Amino acid sequence: MNIDEDKIDEVVLALLQLTLHDERRAWKQFSFEVMNRLHEKGYILDPVNKNKSVVLTDEGLGLSQELFTKHFQ
C-alpha cells in the first residue's frame, strides 16, 4: 500500500491543535516518525527529548491552525 506521508503529516499537524497549551506546546502523542518529519519540515522544535510535549515554531503554529480549520471545521 502506498501511503502519502505528507498527508499524514498535514493531519497530525492539524491535530496538534487539540492538545495545544502554553501558547505553542502540544502533547507529542503521535509516532516518532511523523514527529521527526514535522521537525525536519521546520514545524516543531526537536521532539527527541524527555518532555511529553513539543514546541511548535511560528510557521508550525500558524499552519496547524490553518490545517485544523481546513480539515475539521
Q: Determine the structural domain holding residue 68 and report its residue range.
A: 5-72
How many folded domains does the chain comprise?
A: 1
pLDDT number for residue 35: 96
Domain of 12: which CATH number? Answer: 1.10.10.10
Would you say residue 5 has pLDDT above 90?
yes
Asked whether residue 1 carries a pLDDT value surpassing 90, the answer given is no
Total count of residues recorded for the chain: 73
Within 13 A of 66's CA, how many CA atoms are on the CB side? 8
Query: What tens digit of pLDDT does each residue of 6-63 get?
Result: 999 999 999 999 999 999 999 989 999 999 999 999 999 999 999 999 999 999 999 9
